[in-house]
Amino acid sequence: MTPKTIGFIGLGVMGEPMCRNLARKSGQRVLCYDLSPEPMQRLLEHGAQPCTDTSELMKTCDVVMICLPSGKAVTDLLALLLPQVRSGQIFVDLSTSGLDVARNAQAQLERKGAQFIDAPIARTREAAENGSLSIMVGGHAACLEEVRPLLECLATDITHCGPIGAGQITKILNNMVLFQTGLALSEAFAIAQRSGFDANMIFNTLTKGSGDSFALRNHGMKSILPGQFPTRAFSVQYARKDLTYALAMAAQLGIPVLGAEAVDESFACAIAEGQGDRYWPVISRVIDGSVQAPSAGALS
């Protein structure tokens, strides 16, 4: 691709390994910024140049990638960056930030002569580490093609889902389905445990039948079975934030989503029991009784 300077803002659980892969693989100059200095220092060892503030990054970069924890964070950042936006810059939002955020970002940036695509990511932190994410893109196909070589440093699957916001909708529905599958696995685990059967055997057997899924192989086998729910992972709180987008869309469209509502209740239980900062499959331990679920009144 034509030589470009790339800026990466947001070096959290997923952002740091993505920025590292970008610096290692793209062959482009990569600048990075985060409120925390530690990930910037770690990335320096891999060729990414830390910036003291966003102004330094904005002055130099042709492409600005954003990976933040919420739509509000993206909106707040764009409000800060907007006065410094230059015509011709390309902005790529890798966050799960919602349909309205994507549409508003495009409108604001286009008025400044810049381009924008929403490109939320899917799969696990392990996938972020090894560059095998799935990226769901909304926006102009030509803009996607211009940055595709950069996205290929991060992902093995890049799908153009449609116009602005299509990436966000696809990711939100992806997570809604994932969370409901995770809830079903958590319930299956609890039933197996309570009945005195070997949950490991049951889950392994499910991988050979129609109950097989990405959620089973990754969240079930690697998290629910061994009881591993780290804090530097996709937490219950972040998962519930993503689910909120799906619930809001369903409410606007008048569609009942009982499964999604059941997941939201499980997330609420886990948060009420102090598990909100742990990897979201920890809901399995609320369901099996390892973590005491609160009474119905505590969820209001």
* Counted domains in the chain: 2
Dihedrals phi, psi of 18, to nearest 5 degrees: -65, -45
CATH assignment of the domain containing 38: 3.40.50.720
Average pLDDT of span 230-241: 94
Q: For residues 134 and 270, state if they share a domain.
A: no
pLDDT band at 87 (very low <50, low <70, confident <90, very high): very high
Tokens representing 108 are 């604001």
Based on the domain organization, do 98 and 184 belong to the same domain? Answer: no
117 shares a domain with 48: yes
Give the residue among 136, 215, 133 at the shortest CA–CA distance from 170.
Answer: 136
Strand partners, 269: none
E strand or H helix at 5, and its extent? strand 5-9
Q: What is the mean pLDDT of residues 253-266?
A: 98
Chain segment 178-219, per-residue pLDDT in tens: 999 999 999 999 999 999 999 999 999 999 999 999 999 999
Mark whether 132 and 186 lie in a shared domain.
no
Whole-number pLDDT of residue 194: 95
What are the tens digits of pLDDT across the range 119-162? 999 999 999 999 999 999 999 999 999 999 999 999 999 999 99
> Are residues 200 and 129 both part of a single domain?
no
**Amino acid identity for residue 130 in this structure:** N
CATH of the domain at 198: 1.10.1040.10
pLDDT digits (tens, 9 = 90+) for 107-126: 999 999 999 999 999 999 99
Question: Per-residue pLDDT for 252 more than 60?
Answer: yes
By three-state DSSP, how is residue 138 classified?
strand
Domain match, 18 and 59 both = yes
Same domain, 49 and 100: yes
- Give the mean pLDDT of the chain: 95
User: End of a domain among 134, 163, 192?
Assistant: 163
Q: Clarify whether residues 187 and 144 are in a common domain.
A: no
What pLDDT band is residue 300 in, cutting at 50, 70 and 90?
very low
Question: What's the pLDDT score for residue 232?
Answer: 86
**Beta 90-93 vs 115-118: how paired, if at all?**
parallel
Task: Tell me what pLDDT residue 292 has.
Answer: 55
When pLDDT is cut at 50, 70 and 90, the band that residue 102 belongs to is very high
Q: Measured between alpha carbons, how far is 118 from 139 in angstroms, rounded to an integer? A: 7
Same domain, 157 and 31: yes
- Which helix (DSSP H) or strand (DSSP E) does residue 41 occupy? helix 37-44
Alpha carbon separation from 260 to 24, 132, 216, 224 (Å, rounded): 39, 27, 18, 19
Q: What is the DSSP string of 49-96?
A: EE-SSHHHHHHH-SEEEE--SSHHHHHHHHHHHGGG--TT-EEEE-S-
Specify whether the CB–CB gap between 119 and 137 falls below 8 A: yes
Selected catalytic residue, list 25, 171, 208, 241: 171
Q: What pairing do the DSSP bridges indicate for beta strands 121-122 and 133-138?
A: antiparallel
Residue 233 amino acid letter:
A
Q: Does residue 294 register a pLDDT over 80? A: no
Where is the domain boundary, 163, 193, 210? Answer: 163
Claim to verify: residue 178 and residue 289 sit in the same structural domain: yes
25 catalytic residue (yes or no): no
- pLDDT of 273 higher than 50: yes
Q: Among 147, 163, 179, where does a domain finish?
A: 163
pLDDT of residue 290: 84
pLDDT of residue 291: 77
Q: Are residues 191 and 51 in the same domain?
A: no
Q: Which amino acid is at 126?
A: E
Range of the domain at 224: 169-299
Residues 152 and 24 in one domain: yes
- Give the residue from 210, 135, 140 showing the smallest Cα distance to 174: 135
For the chain, the C-alpha Rg in angstroms (whole number) is 20
Does the pLDDT of residue 278 top 70, yes or no? yes
What's the mean pLDDT in 238-259?
97
- Is the pLDDT at 45 greater than 70? The verdict is yes
- Confidence check: pLDDT of 229 > 90: yes
